[in-house]
């Protein structure tokens, strides 16, 4: 009798596991073109009626155009994600072109939903990312034309043009909506602002220094 109940318990556990793990990560249809006009609340964007889908839903033109780098950072990101290409919805991939003026930077940031792989098309880029606590290792390298580098998902990373001419890179990301969290903007430019004394203690500086930095955001 004890063996019988043990067997029943084992079957119950296995059945529970199977129910919990029954998960289909891949698309269950050919495509799910985003419908930004939909009011449906889903994790991502609702699908457009497949009968109304056309070639333009899978198309974007613009990555051949140089971005305007006349700004504080000397860089410009031109995205090609689900906001520009509705057909990317649910497909887990996107692109971006990044232009850099001489010594321009793409400042430290993270992509909360994507790993990034970047290819240098022109120029020389110093790239780097920082590992998680407690090591906080800074892994960095200078890339030239044709070189490829990977930024693991969620880790803080950056690029800097270390050449005297313009630089261009193409980045591929493992999400149709990778998201961007710029570290300086998030910490010093949040709305409402993080209390000055909190940031002063975190960065081990005087509160007046924090206030000065916050004023720039």
Long-range contacts formed by 44-47: CB under 8 A, 24+ apart = 44/89, 44/90, 44/176, 44/177, 45/82, 45/86, 45/89, 47/89
Q: Could you give the C-alpha distances from 76 to 27, 107, 152, 199, in angstroms and in order?
A: 32, 11, 22, 29
What whole-number distance in Å separates Cα of residue 27 and Cα of residue 23? 11
> Is 157 annotated as ligand-binding?
yes
Q: What are phi and psi of 88, to 5 degrees?
A: -75, -15
Q: What are phi and psi of 5, to 5 degrees?
A: -65, -35
Pairing of strands 148-151, 116-122: antiparallel
Residue 25: how many CB atoms within 10 A of its CB?
5
> Is 111 annotated as ligand-binding?
yes
Strand, helix or coil at 38? coil
> Is 64 annotated as ligand-binding?
no
**Under 8 Å between Cβ of 173 and 110:** no
**Under 8 Å between Cβ of 159 and 117:** no
The binding site consists of 106, 109, 111, 116, 157
The binding site for oxalate consists of 106, 111, 116
The binding site for Mn(2+) consists of 109, 111, 116, 157
């Amino acid at each position: 009798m004890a063996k019988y109940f043990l067997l029943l318990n084992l079957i119950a556990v296995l059945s529970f596991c199977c129910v919990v793990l029954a998960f289909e990560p891949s698309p269950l249809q050919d495509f799910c073109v985003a419908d930004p006009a939909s009011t449906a609340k889903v994790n991502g964007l609702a699908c457009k009626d497949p009968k109304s889908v056309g070639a333009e839903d899978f198309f974007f033109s613009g990555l051949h155009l140089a971005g305007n780098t006349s700004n504080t950072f000397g860089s410009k990101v031109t995205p090609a994600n689900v906001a520009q290409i509705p057909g990317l919805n649910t497909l887990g991939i996107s692109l971006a072109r990044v232009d850099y003026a001489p010594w321009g930077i793409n400042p430290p940031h993270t992509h909360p939903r994507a790993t990034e792989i970047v290819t240098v098309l022109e120029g020389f880029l110093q790239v780097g990312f920082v590992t998680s606590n407690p090591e906080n290792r800074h892994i960095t390298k200078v890339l030239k034309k044709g070189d490829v580098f990977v930024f693991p998902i969620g880790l803080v990373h950056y690029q800097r043009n270390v050449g005297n001419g313009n630089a261009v890179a193409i980045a591929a990301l493992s999400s149709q909506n990778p998201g961007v969290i710029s570290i300086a903007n998030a910490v010093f430019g949040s709305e409402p602002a993080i209390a000055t004394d909190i940031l002063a203690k975190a960065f081990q500086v005087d509160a007046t220094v924090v206030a000065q930095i916050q004023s720039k955001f």
